[in-house]
Amino acid sequence: MRGVRRRAALPVCALAAGLFLAAGCATTFQRISGEEAAGAREFFAASAALPFPIEASYSGVAEVSGRTLPFIAGVNSRSSAEETVGFYDLLGGPVLFLANDGKTVTLSRGRASGKILPPNLPPLKSGPVSLGRILSGAPGYPVEGGDVGRTPDGGWIYRDGRQRLYSDPPRRLLSRAEYYFPGKRVVVSYPERGMTGPPPLVKIEVSGAKIVLRRDVE
């Protein structure tokens, strides 16, 4: 049992480490103006209009150092300043908790984390990000001001220094996002997304690890 819990905790540790180590390159940005820019701003503002509360559970796998490792997770967001995301091993043992107060994301170990996670995980100065909205396919930060542009495949981009948001080429829905912390980058994508409701699949890339969360049917 101890071995199962240790294997299940590893992807969670990769996610925690990735929040502090992730970095990479972004997609080409071509600035737009006029009616197209107005349409892009309206699109991204609408995509951010996701109400609270947000509650969901997930089954997940992570690709870490060539291995595929499973885990389970859940999110509870009463508001963007009152959120908790929990990660658990396959036996339901708590491994890691992320608590967001709208300014800082605090990471704390669960009793099933064993010796894999360090005892004092540093907080992440994230600003007004919403983890629940990110997992639900909406922008993590408020969409205010910023620049809009076009990707080579015809989709729209919004950027404001904290996030880059991408529509799909037909400009129907948010398909991908990049979030920037001091010197770090986290990439989130939503494959298999339909036109309505939250995305059934969320992919997160951090520090070389690929984490996939499949939303449980409510």
The four Cα atoms 159, 209, 62, 140 give a dihedral, to 10 degrees, of: -20
- 169-190 CB burial, b ≥16 within 10 A, e <16: eeeebbbbbbbbbeebbbbbbb
pLDDT tens profile 43-54: 999 999 999 999
pLDDT at 46: 95
Residue 9 sits at φ, ψ, to 5 deg, of -75, -20
pLDDT at 183: 65
Contact partners, residue 115, CB within 8 Å, separation at least 6:
none
In this prediction the pTM is 0.85
pLDDT at 123: 87
CA distance 107 to 97: 6
Q: Are 118 and 96 in contact (CB under 8 A)?
A: no
The class of domain 2-215 in CATH terms is mainly beta
pLDDT at 117: 65
Q: Other C-beta atoms within 10 Å of 135: how many?
A: 26
Q: Which residues of the chain have pLDDT under 50?
A: 1-4, 18-25
Place of tokens 């699949």: 201
pLDDT at 122: 83
Contact partners, residue 29, CB within 8 Å, separation at least 6:
147, 149, 157, 159
Contact partners, residue 187, CB within 8 Å, separation at least 6:
22, 24, 176, 177, 178, 204, 205, 206
CA distance 216 to 60: 10
